[in-house]
């Protein structure tokens, strides 16, 4: 049979064996001594009653306190109360040397320490107010308006109640001091960033050794004519070199004549910008509009947009003889504009364009990011929005995992060939 007993200090209930009846045991919660009654039905009190208003010697505390307040005031500070502050302090101590050596990181370190300290300060201040108001309204008002006097009073009377809030306030003040120390070390009041001496990073300058003043010889001044070369009395190993003869700009390079019957091989010729169209010339593979050509809405043309940039466009309407309203296929309708007939050209078909201007592009299909096969018509429409693509040249072979198409060299379609394929969720690789 067990006996019910309650701690007189923390009011924690326990069930003890009958053999401990009449003995004094120690509470497992607060560690205070408690007396076990003779039996569970005994009406004898645990201890003699104390005076009603003798709060200084009462072991049970004030009757107005709640159980949570009594438990909070009696519990010592354990690892759970120290752990958050220990983690924060460890992080700032770990990065303190880095903040001193790296000025850019020092700025972030100062701000982080200041804001963290401000947050911990408000946390500790609110906790201190909660503890004070649990003791009554007068103690709460004293803590609210005269915080230092309340802290001194509680340190003398019962420091365990304010141990945790006071520890948070001390940690906040420490973080403020850390941020100020980094501020004055890394960024001194003079405004210059404290850095390591750069003399260790740079090599010592090399000075040319000169002979003594009495051994120096004055240089001979030579007044040169346009066709004479200046001479120096100092030894110059390059003085004996023959001057470089630069041909005039109008001179042409010597032409190497090939043997009779041998045609030059242009397959290995590197194309440069001199072979491309000039900045003021229209794109290759196009012709100008004929004066009697009839323009109808929906007709595909190549129109000039800004400066020398040409884009694939579609005719929306013809307002006047020389006023053509076009829509650029690659851009939204807000970019539509009215151009003249000189700014509109018609692209030639594949059989009408020089073979040297046409490039056949071959792609290998690596992966298809969809369950259905790729829509060849949709991909064709995407290519038609780019200037330089030859219509009808797109071929997709899923069995051979190949995609072939033809574009005009140095056009927009030649530079951005892979974009329509990526938009169609195809992972491809160009085969050189």
Helix-, strand-, coil-residue percentages of the chain, each rounded to 5:
35, 15, 50
Q: How far is CA 123 from CA 70, 77, 107, 128, 167, in A?
A: 21, 17, 25, 9, 11
User: Alpha-carbon distance 143 to 127, whole Å?
Assistant: 11
Identify whether the C-beta of residue 405 lies closer than 8 Å to the C-beta of residue 413: no
Q: Give the pLDDT band of residue 14 (cuts 50, 70, 90).
A: confident
User: Alpha-carbon distance 325 to 317, whole Å?
Assistant: 5
Q: Give the pLDDT band of residue 354 (cuts 50, 70, 90).
A: confident
Average pLDDT over residues 145-149: 84
Q: Which of 130-134, 225-229, 297-301, 336-340 has the lowest mean pLDDT?
A: 225-229
Average pLDDT over residues 412-416: 84
Query: Which segments of 31-78 does DSSP mark as H helices, in order?
Result: 67-74
Task: Please give the domain boundaries of the chain with CATH numbers for all domains.
Answer: 2-62 (2.20.28), 79-186 (no CATH), 286-347 (2.30.30.140), 354-430 (3.30.70.100)
Element (H, E) at 366: strand 358-368
User: Alpha-carbon distance 351 to 420, whole Å?
Assistant: 24
Give the pLDDT of residue 190.
Answer: 53
Identify whether the C-beta of residue 10 lies closer than 8 Å to the C-beta of residue 17: no
Q: Which of 233-237, 294-298, 317-321, 392-396 has the lowest mean pLDDT?
A: 233-237
Q: Give the pLDDT band of residue 371 (cuts 50, 70, 90).
A: confident
CA 20 remoteness from chain centre: 69
Sole residue written with tokens 């064996």: 17
Residue 228: exposure state from Cβ atoms within 10 A (0-12, 13-18, ≥19) = exposed
User: Alpha-carbon distance 38 to 23, whole Å?
Assistant: 8
Close Cβ partners of 364 (under 8 Å, ≥ 6 residues apart): 401, 402, 403, 428, 429, 430, 431
The better pLDDT of the pair 205, 312 is held by: 312
Element (H, E) at 35: strand 33-35
User: Alpha-carbon distance 340 to 329, whole Å?
Assistant: 18
Q: pTM of whole model > 0.85?
A: no
Q: Give the bridge partners for 315, in sequence order.
A: 326
Structure tokens, 231: 């001479």
**Ramachandran angles phi, psi of 311, nearest 5°:** -130, 150
pLDDT digits over 253-262, tens only? Answer: 555 666 666 6
pLDDT digits over 154-190, tens only? Answer: 888 888 888 888 888 888 888 888 888 888 777 766 5
CA nearest neighbour of 26 among 40, 36, 37: 36
Sole residue written with tokens 């100008």: 288
């Amino acid at each position: 049979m067990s006996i019910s007993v309650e701690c007189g200090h923390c009011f924690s209930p326990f069930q003890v064996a009958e053999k401990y009846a009449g003995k004094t045991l120690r509470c497992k919660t607060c560690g205070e001594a408690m007396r076990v009654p003779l039996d569970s039905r005994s009406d004898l009190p645990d201890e003699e009653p104390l005076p009603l208003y003798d709060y200084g010697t009462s072991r049970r505390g004030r009757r107005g306190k709640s159980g949570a307040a009594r438990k909070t005031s009696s519990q010592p500070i354990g690892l759970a109360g120290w752990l958050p502050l220990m983690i924060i302090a460890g992080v700032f101590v770990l990065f303190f040397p880095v903040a001193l050596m790296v000025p850019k990181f020092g700025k972030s370190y100062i701000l982080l320490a200041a804001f963290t300290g401000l947050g911990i300060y408000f946390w500790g201040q609110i906790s201190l107010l909660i503890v004070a108001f649990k003791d009554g309204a007068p103690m709460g008002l004293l803590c609210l308006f005269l915080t230092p006097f309340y802290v001194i009073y509680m340190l003398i009377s019962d420091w365990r109640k304010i141990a945790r809030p006071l520890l948070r306030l001390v940690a906040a003040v420490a973080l403020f001091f850390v941020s100020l120390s980094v501020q004055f070390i890394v960024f001194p009041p003079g405004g210059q960033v404290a850095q390591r001496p750069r003399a260790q990073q740079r090599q010592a300058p090399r000075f040319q050794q000169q002979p003594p003043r009495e051994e120096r010889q004055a240089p001979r001044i030579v007044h040169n004519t346009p066709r004479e070369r200046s001479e120096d009395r100092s030894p110059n190993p390059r003085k004996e070199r023959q001057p470089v003869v630069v041909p005039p700009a109008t001179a042409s390079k010597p032409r190497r004549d090939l043997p009779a019957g041998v045609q030059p091989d242009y397959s290995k010729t590197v194309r440069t910008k001199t072979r491309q169209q000039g900045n003021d010339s229209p794109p290759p593979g196009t012709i100008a509009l004929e004066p009697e050509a009839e323009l109808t809405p929906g007709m595909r043309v190549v129109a000039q947009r800004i400066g020398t940039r040409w884009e694939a466009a579609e005719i929306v309407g013809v307002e006047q003889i020389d006023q053509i309203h076009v829509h650029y296929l690659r851009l939204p309708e807000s970019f539509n504009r009215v151009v003249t007939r000189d700014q509109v050209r018609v692209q030639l078909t594949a059989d009408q364009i020089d073979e040297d201007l046409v490039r056949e592009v071959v792609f290998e299909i690596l992966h298809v990011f969809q369950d259905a096969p790729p829509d060849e018509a949709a991909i064709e429409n995407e290519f038609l929005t780019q200037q330089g693509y030859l219509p009808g040249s797109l071929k997709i072979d899923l069995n051979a995992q190949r995609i072939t198409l033809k574009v005009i060299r140095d056009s927009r379609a030649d530079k951005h060939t892979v974009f329509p394929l990526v938009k169609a969720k195809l992972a491809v690789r160009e085969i050189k």
